[in-house]
Chains A and B, each alone.
Chain A
Amino acid sequence: MTTPVNKAPEMVTGASRKRMDTAQPVFNESGIEIRKTYTAEDLESSGGVDMVGLPGEYPFTRGIHREMYRKRPWTMRQYTGFGNPSETNKRFKFLIENGQTGLNVAFDLPSQIGIDSDDDMATGEIGRVGMAVDSLRDFEVAFDGIDLDKITVSLTVNGSAAIMIAMYLAMAEKRGYDITKLRGTAQNDILKEFIGRGTWIFPVEPSIKLVADTIEYCAHNAPKYSPVSVCGYHIRESGADPAQEMAYGFCIAKAYTDLVLARGLDVDEFASRLSFNFNIYGNIFEQVAKFRAGRGLWAKIISEGYGATNPRSMVLRMIAGGGGSGLTKEQPEVNIVRGAYYALISALSGAQTMALCCFDEAYTIPSVDAQRLSLRTMQVLIEEMGLCDTVDPLAGSYYVETLTNQMRERMEEVMAEVEEQGGIVAMVADGSIQAKVSEQAYQMLQDIESGEFPKVGINCYQMDEKEPEVELHPYAEDDARRQVERIVQLREERDGAAVEATLAKLVTDAQAGVNVMPAIMAAVKAYATVGEMTDALVSVYGRYQEPVRF
């Protein structure tokens, strides 16, 4: 008789990877064979050092700044948000007091997919996985007392990103900031949401049209703001290998770029504001080579492919942090060690910003202690380990340079495959990319279960462990109720006629196919809600019907 509750594996073994057979070929996850030793000859035959260059210079393989961390260490930006905006504001301030240098806002699911807190569909989800946002008022509370010139804010939101960007800009404007100088980032990468993470709202075409609207609007009105952070991260989490992670990310970035160019903007007007979000776990050298290769490839795509002339357009700015998929539920304290290695990799790779998954994240929204520990992990690297002293310290290693060339070549192959199959937009729309990465995820899990792919605590060095006592973040019913009360109150207090008028304008602009950002800005300033604006857009665009493929 099977016990009804199936616990994680309990067998105790000392099994580990045997490396006795040196004749066996070794491959990294991207499918590149790793040699026992690398020499100048290997480097030469992989393409030599033509793409290496110098930091801060084309092709930027070695980094996007000449001085990199010597001038300023990476931005520390832990993903945070839960409950209502005032609870989140407290946590933001705690992180800033502990030395965090940027904010990375988590939204709850209703906010991410355009549902108001007083909608039935939001029941039980308000503030659960992030901060609940219904209107501009919530942004005013969440960022109260935080200097937006000193702390840059990243909004992790996609389906409803156009609305949230408008709220952020409107909130900053109201507080007296000059939005032409305001910095910050929105994730706003909807194509990857169709592949993994799943917070889509509208069908594919209007969804990417909205992304182009935000890029165009920001280019004209908030030129320092980064309206998109293209995410290989979640595609990797969904099952892609490291080379695919970058290649699919670049295909997506190209898709947005093409749309904006079609509106008559010059590539140099907006390309410098495109940013990226990548994943780190697994083989150290594969990751470092991946980022170095990615920088060179992106610079080449933007300059040769799109004819950009401003070097700032060509640089791959990235947040690269630890990937959740690398962490284990088993022996969670080992995740502290993994997180430290991921941060090291990120620093060796020249990332602009880091966010580390916390060690308790397989169980819960991170505790205060776990978040502080992630910050300290990065601070130790900055203060004690010499990682800020010199740029791109692994450059010139035969292995790293060879692998960088090979990873770049592999990424180009993957990009060419996507083109052959009709391009990323078509592949997302018909679900074929989703099916491909999901198949790979299944294969990977089988390899982990069989022990083929070693994972400490899962298929080697297991311990007979009870589920550890992790302090679970409770679902705050009171905060959720207060959020519902706030929106009910808002609906009574605001100028209903102004809301109606701005929403009507949003509908007509969406119907006309013009950029809807000005209409969204006006609606936001009239305190229209996320749900109301989303519904207005749905009335024109419709809703996405998921092609269920796996």
Chain B
Amino acid sequence: MNQRSTRVLIAKPGLDGHDRGAKIVAHALIDAGFDVIYTGLRQAPEAVVQAALDGQVDVIGLSSMAGSHVPYCQQLKPLLEEKGLGDKLWIIGGSIPAGDQQALLDIGLDGVFPAGSKLESIVDFINERCQ
């Protein structure tokens, strides 16, 4: 198989519709040479899993702006495991209070990029982990 670009899923979990950040990150990852699949809004955990499987992605990225990320990721985690996606790089960005960052890492996320993170830091993180 030819070496393919790293494939990243950017998903908007839950009901929130603020997608400026998700789309900006998607743009930046494309410019950095990744293949990007953006789900659009209101993705249930099952839908994220399905999109990750369909897209055969290497990275699962969530964008959360409205505070429901911890319970959402708790729901998503067993579904990812069940479908054999537990080894994929799993990251989240958005409006993530400092107090939630460790909780997300404890759930099993690999990286947390709160608002204010440089785009480059996200690109570098994926590059480093997906070689």
**A5 to B111, alpha carbons, bound, how many Å?**
6
User: How many angstroms between the C-alpha atoms of A475 and B112 in the bound complex?
Assistant: 21
Which of B15-23, B54-62, B80-88 is near enough to bind chain A?
A: B15-23
Q: Are A198 and B19 in contact (CB under 8 A)?
A: yes
Of A123-131, A147-155, A343-351, the one touching chain B: A123-131
Chain A, residues 466-480, CB within 8 Å of chain B (1/0): the string is 010000100100000
Whether B23 lies near A442 (C-beta < 8 A) is yes
Q: How far is the CA of A115 from the CA of B38 in the complex (A)?
A: 24
- Evaluate contact between A449 and B38: CB separation under 8 angstroms: no
Q: Is A422 an interface residue (CB 8 A)?
A: no
Which residues of chain A are near B6, meaning CB under 8 Å? Answer: none
Flag whether B1 is at the interface (Cβ < 8 A).
Answer: no
- B15 x A449 contact (CB < 8 A): no
Interface residues contributed by chain B, number (CB under 8 Å)? 48
Given contacts A2-B128, A445-B119, contact A472 B66 (CB under 8 A): no
Cβ–Cβ < 8 Å partners of B24 in chain A: 438, 441-442, 445
Q: Is the CB of B113 within 8 A of A442?
A: no
B-side binding surface: helix, strand, loop or mixed? Answer: mixed
- A199-B71 CB under 8 A given contacts A6-B114, A438-B24, A550-B38: no
- Specify which of A5, A196, A445, A458 lies most central, judged by the most chain B CB atoms within 10 Å of its CB: A5
User: In the assembled complex, which residues on chain A have CB atoms less than 8 Å from the CB atom of B44?
Assistant: 121
Alpha-carbon distance between A101 and B67 when the two chains are bound, in angstroms: 29
Q: How far is the CB of A116 from chain B (nearest CB, A)?
A: 13
State the Cβ distance, A219 to closest chain B Cβ, in Å. Answer: 29
Q: List CB contacts (< 8 Å) of B104-130 with chain A.
A: 105, 110-122, 124-125, 128-129
Give B112's nearest chain A residue, CB to CB: A5
B44 to A, closest residue via Cβ = A121
A122 — nearest CB in chain B belongs to which residue? B15
Residues of chain B lying within 8 A (CB to CB) of residue A6: 111-114, 117, 121-122, 125
Do A129 and B66 form a contact, CB below 8 Å, given A198-B41, A438-B23, A442-B27? yes
CA distance A260 to B116 in the complex (A): 43
> Is A362 an interface position by the 8 A CB rule?
yes
Q: Which B residues from 1 to 44 make CB contacts under 8 A with A?
A: 14-20, 22-24, 26-28, 38-42, 44
Q: List 10 A-B contacts (CB under 8 A).
A: A6-B125, A8-B115, A109-B14, A124-B71, A197-B17, A198-B19, A364-B97, A445-B24, A446-B119, A550-B19
Given contacts A239-B20, A445-B24, A446-B119, 7 further A-B contacts (CB under 8 A): A2-B129, A4-B105, A4-B110, A6-B122, A113-B15, A196-B17, A199-B17
